[in-house]
Amino acid sequence: MDANRQDYLEAVLATLPECVAIVDRNFQLIDLNKAGLKMIGVEHFDDLPEGAPISLISQPYRDAYRDALKTALSGAKQEKNKPFRIEITAVDGTHHLMDCCLAPLADKNSEINAAVVTCRDVSEWQDALEAAEQSSSILQTILAAVPDAMVVIDEHGLITSFSTAAEKLFGYREAEILGQNVSILMPSPHKEAHDGYLERYLRTGEKHIIGIGRKVEGCKKDGTIFPIKLDVGEAKIGDRCLFTGFIVDLTEQQRTAAELQSLQGDLMHASRLSAVGSLASALAHEINQPLTAIANYLSAARDMMDQGVEGNEAHLHEALRESVSESLRAGNIVRRLREFVAKGEINRQILSIAQLVEDAMTLGLVGAYDKGIVCTTNINPDTNHVFADRVQIQQVMVNLMRNAIEAMEFSAEKKLEISVQSIPDKRVEIAISDTGSGIDPEMADQLFHPFATTKGSGMGLGLSICRTIIEAHEGTINAEPNPLGGTIFRIILLKAAEEKLDVE
C-alpha cells in the first residue's frame, strides 16, 4: 500500500463513528481507530490496558468473541453479517454493550493472518429499549389495574389498548378488539357518526367531548345497550394523536336512582294520605257546608213552588243558581282531594303557578276560617308559568299552609298571607307567612331534616319532603322569622323557559 493510500485510510478510519479494530492470529490488537480509543477511554494506542481487547470484554462474552474471531481467521464470512453482542468495560469502569461484526483480512499473498472487528456502541439503544419495555409493562399493569374501563384509540378511531376492566365491561377480549374501530362499542346513531366526530375534531379542533365528560350509551359484545359516563382525554405523540376514553358503567347507579325515586314517590304519597287523614273531620265539615246550603236552597225552592211560582220567579231562580254554585264548590273540594291522594307518575308540565297556589288553598285552608284565621292572598298574575308536577307542588303548599295554621293555634293574631311574585333572573317566589309561634330555636338548624318535629303526633317528614320536591324542581325552600312575629317560608322556582311556552 503506498503512503498516500495509507494516510487516506487512516483518515477515514479516524472519522468513523464505529470502533474499528484489527486483530491478529494471536488475538492481539494491532490497530484501533479513534472512536475505539475514545470508547475505551484512552488517547493513544500505547495507553491501552494489557491484554486488550480480550481483557476488556466481560467474562460471559469472551467465548463468543473468540469463536467469532476463529471463524473469521479461518476465512469464513460471518453468517449473513449478523452482529453478535459483547460487553466492554472501559478504563473508567463504565460498561458498553457493543454489536460486533468480524471479517477476515487477507494480506498481499492472499493469506489471512488478521481480522477486522467493527463494533457499534448500542448501550443507549439498549437502555431506551429496556425503558420502553419497562414503560410498556408499566402501562400493561396500569391497564390491568385501573378500576374504570379504559380504551385508547388512534386518530382513525382504531383501538390500540383495551384495559382488563374494559374487557369485563364490554365482553370483548383485548386481542380480538385491538385494531377495530371504537364505534363497535357504541349503539346507533353514534356508531355511524363517530368517524365523522373524529374527523371534525382533527380538522377544526372543536372539543365536544374531550375534557368535558358525557353521559352516553355503550354497546356490549352481546348487543346490550347500557348507560355509561365517558371521559375522553387526548395525548399527542409527535404528530400522532391518541385518545383515551375512561368509561364508568352507570347501570347500577341509574337502577338505584330509579328505585330511590320510586321509594320517594311512595313516601310522598303516604305523606299526602296522612295529611288527608288528619284533615278528615275538617274536610267532612267543609263538604257538609255546601251540601247543607244546597238542601236549604232546594227546600226553600220547593216551598216557593208550593205557594205558586208566579211572582216568586226571581227568588226561585236565585235559589237554584246558589244550589248550582254550592254543588260546584263541593265538587271542587272532592276533585282536588281525589287528585291529591292519587298515586300517579311524576308528570312535569307547564303550569300556571298562580292557579296552582289557588287550587292548593282549597285543601290547605280547609277549616282555617273556623279557627279564626284571616287569610289574604297577593298573587301576581305576571308570575306564570312554571314547569312542575301539579300534585307535588300542591303537596308542598298544603303542607306549609297546614303547618302555618297549626303554628297559629294559640296566637292572638292569626294572619296567614300567601303571596306569589316575580323576582329577578326569571324566577318566581311563593311566600307563606304566618303570625304563629315562630320556629322553635332548637329546631332551626334541622327544620328540613326528616323526623325533626316538635309536635306530639308529628312525623317530622313534611318539610323534608317539601325540600326534596322543590330541589327536584331545581328550586329552593327556606324559612325566616316574620317581622310581624311568626314565620315566613319562601319557595323559589324557575319560570318555564320561553321556548317551552311556545310548545304549550
Residues lying near ligand ADP in the complex (CB under 6 A) are found at: 399, 403-404, 407, 434, 436-440, 443, 447, 452-455, 458-464, 487
Task: Rank residues 178 and 270 by Cβ distance to ligand ADP and give the closer one.
Answer: 270
Q: Residues 112, 105: contact at Cβ < 8 Å?
A: yes
- Beta strand pairing status for 415-423 and 427-434? antiparallel
Distances (CA, A) of 306 to 25, 167, 180, 292, 322: 151, 91, 95, 21, 20
Q: Least separation, in Å, of the C-beta of 180 and ligand ADP?
A: 56
Q: Least separation, in Å, of the C-beta of 339 and ligand ADP?
A: 21
Cell (9 digits) for 133 = 419495555
Q: Is 203 exposed, middle or buried (0-12, 13-18, 19+ CB in 10 A)?
A: exposed
Q: Residues 217, 226: contact at Cβ < 8 Å?
A: yes
Q: Least separation, in Å, of the C-beta of 201 and ligand ADP?
A: 51
- Minimal CB distance to ligand ADP: which residue? 462
Task: Rank residues 183 and 403 by Cβ distance to ligand ADP and give the closer one.
Answer: 403
Distances (CA, A) of 163 to 149, 152, 211, 230: 6, 9, 20, 15
Task: Rank residues 119 and 407 by Cβ distance to ligand ADP and give the closer one.
Answer: 407
- State whether the Cα torsion 168-173-178-182 is positive or negative: negative
The 3-state DSSP class for residue 82 equals coil
Task: Rank residues 317 and 449 by Cβ distance to ligand ADP and give the closer one.
Answer: 449
Task: Rank residues 104 and 438 by Cβ distance to ligand ADP and give the closer one.
Answer: 438
Amino acid 367 reads: G
Task: Rank residues 13 and 365 by Cβ distance to ligand ADP and give the closer one.
Answer: 365
Closest CA to 96 of 134, 63, 133, 126: 126
Please state, in angstroms and rounded to a whole number, the distance separating the CA atoms of residues 132 and 65. Answer: 29
Task: Rank residues 103 and 280 by Cβ distance to ligand ADP and give the closer one.
Answer: 280
Q: Residues 119, 19: contact at Cβ < 8 Å?
A: yes
Distances (CA, A) of 382 to 341, 347, 353, 393, 500: 30, 24, 10, 19, 17
Q: Least separation, in Å, of the C-beta of 213 and ligand ADP?
A: 37
CB atoms within 10 A of CB 145: 10
Task: Rank residues 182 and 418 by Cβ distance to ligand ADP and give the closer one.
Answer: 418
Q: Least separation, in Å, of the C-beta of 281 and ligand ADP?
A: 18
Q: Least separation, in Å, of the C-beta of 483 and ligand ADP?
A: 15
Q: Least separation, in Å, of the C-beta of 399 and ligand ADP?
A: 6
Q: Least separation, in Å, of the C-beta of 311 and ligand ADP?
A: 54
